[in-house]
Chains A and B, each alone.
Chain A
Amino acid sequence: MVFIKREVTLTVNLREYRVEIQEHWTLLEVLRDCLGLTGTKCSCNLGDCGACTVIVDGKPVLSCLALAASMEGKEITTIEGLSGDRGLHPLQKAFIDEGAIQCGFCTPGLIMTAKTLLDENPDPTEEEVREAISGNVCRCTGYHKPVKAVLAAAKMLRQEEKGVCNVG
């Protein structure tokens, strides 16, 4: 087999990375194997389970289906880039407080999917949350608590926006 190598510049979590990749490598492989960002999980590697969801230019992307070579010039956010100087993102806090995590393997993907929902729709209904995360498979929780966590995070974010309280 002949693989074509090339160097790409990827912007991940506001940092630039110059990496030598093979053209057929997926974004998931590059994040995990080249950049050491193993918070993004590989479960089915077929685009069926949502565990590898990252945010690319504001949209949820299944990183197991995206070629790394196509990611130049785009802004990529992974679970490692979600918390900032002010601590955890409200979604992370809400997932902890609502008991929305069990084994935790689907958690990064779920949180990244939820973030793109809340970025677009800061006040979603329960049905909108359920629909948004319906492509993320979780075998432990039954989705009840993750849904509650996303709604709680939405509320925190709206209050933060209004300056009612500083949630970190």
Chain B
Amino acid sequence: MAEYEIVGKRVPRVDALPKVTGEARYAADLTMPGLLHGKILRSPHPHARVLSVDTSRAEKLYGVRAVVTAKDFAGFRYGFMASTRDEPPLAEDQVRFVGEEVAAVAAIDEEIASEAIELIKVEYEPLPAVYDPEEALREGAPQLHQDKPGNISAHVKMNFGDVDAALANAYHVREDRFYSQSVLHGFLEPHAVIARWESAGGITVWASKQSPYFLYRNLASCFRLPLSKVRVIQPYVGGGFGGKNATFALDFCAAMLSKKTGFPVKIVYEAEDILGYGRRRHPMIMELKTGVTRDGLLLGTSCRLIADGGAYTSVGPMTIYLSGAFLSLPYKMPSFRYEAVRAYTNKPVCNAMRGHGSPQIRYAADCQLELIARDLSIDPVEIRRRNVVEAGYVTANKMHVKSCGLKESIDEALKAINWYEVRREINEHNKKSGRVLRGLGIACNGFQSGARLHGHTACSAIVKVHEDGGISLLTGSTDSGQGSETVLAMITAELFGVPLETVEVSKVDSHLTPVDPGSFGSRVTSTAGNAVKIAALKARDKLAVVAAEVLGGEKEEVEFKKESVFLKGRPEKAIPFRKLCHLTYTYGHGQVIVGEGHWSQEIDMPNWETGEGDLAGTYTFGTQVAEVEVDRLTGKIKLNKMVVAHDLGYAINPLACEGQHEGSVFGGLGHCIYEECRVEDGKTLNPSFLDYKMPTAMDMPRVMESIGIETMDQEGVFGAKESAEGTQVSTVPAIVNAIYDATGVMFKELPVTPEKVLKALEGNISEGEG
């Protein structure tokens, strides 16, 4: 493997300094002259007709500058695809969930804006509501959208191979029903925006977005502006996890209020706005009927899935598509049938969250595999080894596995936790029937390394070398905390042979940076990384032409290392990098050193109707192993150890990869045993960090080991693949399988709370299944 100067090293983040000194400015930290403050009025009803909205008293309040309602948006709807645009910026004649935005106010300060909100009189006529997705799909259920009969927001069907024959011929068939609950993204930085209407016709927006170009497109459509007149400027982003992709009411309202007033308008959501009424992960009911051979080889699975979508569609069709497509990874599944319905319910809207659609289905499928292993008396590790995919494998739905370190990830994860010895120890321990039961669990994952999309899917980069040797890197990608700016800067610095601090990464400014799909689907390192490499090499080529002339050689012989430029094999005769940059600017008639690059996965678009085809150019694989303790007296579960072994292609920054793995364990642990949006009559009862209960520093395992399996992927920049979302896909099943190992109870509904554990141990839940 090539030895690099910067790439592959445990390098601290390029944005770490401003983040430890407090200089890093996030959207809510910004202000400007004439700034007005906006507040939003929300519906108290889960489902109601809006009979009238009277804003006259609010408008008369001292300090109020403008009020907007649905009328201002003249029927504009937004959404993921043309056919799914069902969401208005503000509710029109119907509200569909508690907290739906109804009107917005801009005033000279926040307090006046809040007071004005209370003066808006909305007359509602309550309608019957439905909260349970299965009930919503039944005949006679209250209907949310007139043009979507039966409350069907999206419907996906896939059918590959002869599943009926597979199940008929199987040695063993199991049917199980699993439920994954409603969980939140939980980012700390609230949604915030400043919008400024430009009198020449245009909008400038500063907003906290992980995919700012969605905002760019949505504002252009909403305000009927050319895209080039929407300027989205990206401040630092305080976490996203899928929750900051979309455009929300605050973005549209701030822009509309600014248009109406002629002043910039800032809106910052409060905790309750986000934790009580905001986007969340799709709860899913998953029924799997799976057949295997006597040796535990998977033959086929038939899956029925109901996703609880909430009141609008958002990216829901893609969510349930991914849940189905990933039935075929990471285990060989020769045939499968999938039917999924996303139901509208009178609850906040569900969307993408880390792993998008995969963590739910992997929980169901991997835990069912655990049950199959028990039924057939096959070792849980062995049954996985027998079924794993390998490089060159083509799934039933025609996804092509290129590099694949899945087997190695099993080996490494077992080694790290000392599986077989701990296994024996635990068996001995549990025989004593003490208060604490111990368990070991394993689960595997497969995920897309850089999602391929409809429409524009390429990432681009511009590399500009200054005459003093400084380098500016412009991309359209966003670092919402995952560390992609650092990775992209490392790639650039490596190629020019300069220290990392030489490279300045610009955040998105849609007037200046190239358009980009966004930071989702694990696509920044994998996709933007390649674009950066191409751009850097193009810029470097211009320098090489001059260097070759000065050094008396060929362009192809020029090397860039340690801030020095020389001909291959002759480092003694070198020009300092800075000097070469200066020379190049003044060389001949003078030139500017700029390189542009773009890159996209060279794969065909999947067939969205049938579900056939690749979702990404390449895939990642991994294994997670969990060691837990279950307290029989309190029902409390303690995760003692967690190992993440992930085939990430190549670790461009092992320190950042570890951080991603640890963050995945945290997110997965929360999903598995702690977190849940408790919703009653459509109202989220725990809309605060105190009541929602994400794990604290005390709840995390004391031992977390992160192992990078390097398979040097042909597609990835420097061989790298994603290492961010895929790692959260198997966290939940690894822990649930460990709890099963400890207690003998398979928990088929998340989260596995102490209450459920106690009930199960008392035998109130049928033997073997919780």
Contact = CB atoms under 8 A, between A and B. Distances in A.
Contacts of A3: 111
A144 B662 contact: yes
A138 B690 CA distance: 13
A103 B13 CA distance: 11
B188 A106 contact: yes
Interface string A117-138: 0000000001001110111111
A103 B480 contact: yes
Interface stretch (A55-63, A67-75, A92-100, A154-162): A92-100
Contacts of B189: 41, 43, 103, 105
B662 A141 contact: yes
A49 B238 CA distance: 14
Interface stretch (B15-23, B256-264, B621-629): B15-23
B25 interface: yes
Contacts of A103: 187-189, 236-239, 480-481
Contacts of A43: 188-190, 271, 689
B483 A137 contact: no
A101 B22 CA distance: 12
Contacts of B481: 102-105, 140
A12 interface: no
B131 interface: no
A77 to B, nearest CB: 11
A26 to B, nearest CB: 12
Given A79-B21, A144-B662, A105 B26 contact: yes
A27 interface: no
A80 B20 CA distance: 9
Contact of B10 (A83, A99, A138): A99
A99 B688 contact: no
B29 interface: yes
A144 to B, nearest CB: 5
Contact of A80 (B22, B270, B697): B22
Contacts of B13: 96, 99, 101
A142 B12 contact: no
A91 to B, nearest CB: 8
Given A48-B689, A80-B21, A97-B12, A141 B659 contact: yes
B241 A38 contact: no
Given A103-B237, A106-B188, A140-B663, A134 B656 contact: no
B24 interface: yes
A139 interface: yes
Contacts of B666: 139, 141-143
Contacts of B18: 104
Given A42-B28, A48-B689, A140-B481, A37 B662 contact: no
Contacts of B270: 45
B730 to A, nearest CB: 16
A43 to B, nearest CB: 5
Contact of B20 (A45, A107, A130, A143): A107
A87 B377 CA distance: 62
B482 interface: yes
B271 A137 contact: no
A42 B480 CA distance: 17
Q: A interface, how many residues as a size bin?
A: 35 or more
A69 to B, nearest CB: 16
Nearest to A131: B698
B167 to A, nearest CB: 40
B665 interface: yes
Contacts of A1: 111, 115
B694 interface: yes
B659 A145 contact: yes
A167 interface: no
B702 interface: yes
Q: Select the residue from A37, A134, A142, A146 with max chain B CB neighbours within 10 A.
A: A142
A44 interface: yes
A163 B658 CA distance: 33
Interface in B627-666: 655-656, 658-659, 662-666
B630 to A, nearest CB: 21
Contacts of B111: 1, 3
Interface in A24-47: 32, 37-46
B700 interface: yes
B286 to A, nearest CB: 26
A10 interface: no
A105 B15 CA distance: 12
A99 B659 contact: yes
B696 interface: yes
A41 B29 CA distance: 8
B641 to A, nearest CB: 12
A16 to B, nearest CB: 20
Contact of B188 (A51, A82, A95, A96): A51
Contacts of B186: 139
A63 B187 CA distance: 20
B551 interface: no
A134 B22 CA distance: 21
A101 B688 contact: no
A78 interface: yes
Nearest to B13: A101
A111 interface: yes
A80 B482 CA distance: 24
B704 interface: yes
Contacts of A102: 239, 481-483, 659, 663
Nearest to A97: B12
Contact of B698 (A45, A130, A142): A130
Nearest to A78: B22
Contact of B29 (A32, A97, A106): A32
A40 B19 CA distance: 11
Q: Which 8 A-B pairs have the closest CB atoms?
A: A39-B22, A103-B481, A105-B238, A104-B19, A142-B666, A142-B662, A79-B22, A38-B29
16 contacts: A39-B21, A41-B238, A49-B689, A92-B20, A96-B16, A99-B12, A103-B239, A104-B18, A105-B26, A105-B189, A129-B697, A130-B700, A134-B698, A139-B663, A139-B666, A142-B662
Given A134-B697, A142-B665, 13 more contacts: A41-B26, A48-B688, A79-B21, A92-B20, A99-B13, A99-B658, A103-B480, A104-B16, A105-B239, A106-B188, A107-B20, A108-B22, A144-B700
